[in-house]
Structure formats: C-alpha cells, structure tokens
Amino acid sequence: MAEQIAIQDRIPDNHCFGCGPDNRQGLQVKSYWTGDDETRCEFTPQSHHCAGPTHYLNGGIIATAIDCHTICTAIADGYRQAGREVGDGEKIWFATGRLDVQYKAPAPIDKPVILEAKIVDRSERKTVLHCTLSSGGRLSATADVVAVRVPDKW
C-alpha cells in the first residue's frame, strides 16, 4: 500500500500557522483520510505549546489543531466533490465560519494528541464537521465546525 500524502501537503500556497507546510514556525498539523467522510491526525505537542501548568497543552493550540484539521478536511472534500485530487486545477478554499470547542479534560503535553473529524453535512457553500481530540486514550475536547467555501481570491 502506498503511503498517503497529508491533505495539507497537497493544498497549494498554504502558509497557515496551524497546518501550512509553507510555515516552518507553525504546528505542521497533518491530516489523512480514514474513510469516505472521516479523517485522522496525530499531532505531537512541543514543550512550548504548554498551558499555564507546563504539563498540559494550551487550549488555544488545541483549538488551532482542531480548526486546521477540520478546515483541511472540508477543503479535501471540496476537491473530492469536484472530482479532483487536492491541489489539481482551480483552488478550492474553505474558511472557519464557526468553531465551537468543548474542553472535556486536560491534554498532557508529553503525549501525542489524536484528532478525528467526521463530515456531518455538506452543501455547495458549507461543510459541517464534528471533531474529537484525545490524548493518552482520554477525550480532551470535542468541536462542531462550520467550514464556509470562500473564493480563491479571499
């Protein structure tokens, strides 16, 4: 089986702090399809991603990872719905219309976090997703996200 290329690595001109391969100072979130409407990401926090207590992951970093994982899932789905590979032809972009994060438990900073996103609904203009973030086998956060299609020039 051939190794998958991360969704983010296929999106042209992606300089995003959370997921842009063109932003070496960013988080470098990488997402992969695991099913027709599902993606997975494993992100390993660094010590400087800490909250006030240095042994936990900062909540803003959690939200950023969720945001990037779900928006890139929507972008990849947009390409799929258009019958193209991510990055082929005219660019397809989505932006965050809503990000509703519910924090459930602290995420230890010394363990990878697992993000799993599922597309709940889609239309021509928006994609609705649900995402979970777990660490050490424990659910740390859930999120409901609305990704809105934006023009290439946005």
The pTM (predicted TM-score) of the whole model is: 0.96
Range of the domain at 109: 7-150
Which pLDDT tens digit goes with each residue over 46-73?
Answer: 999 999 999 999 999 999 999 999 999 9
* Residue 151, token pair as written in the block: 């023009």
Strands (E), 15-153: 31-33, 38-43, 93-103, 113-122, 126-135, 138-150
Q: Where are the alpha helices (DSSP H) in the chain?
A: 59-81
CATH number for the domain that contains residue 47: 3.10.129.10
**Average pLDDT of each block of 10 consecutive residues along the chain (154 residues)?**
84 92 93 97 96 96 98 97 95 97 97 98 97 97 98 81
The residue type of 133 is L
Do the domain assignments include residue 2? no
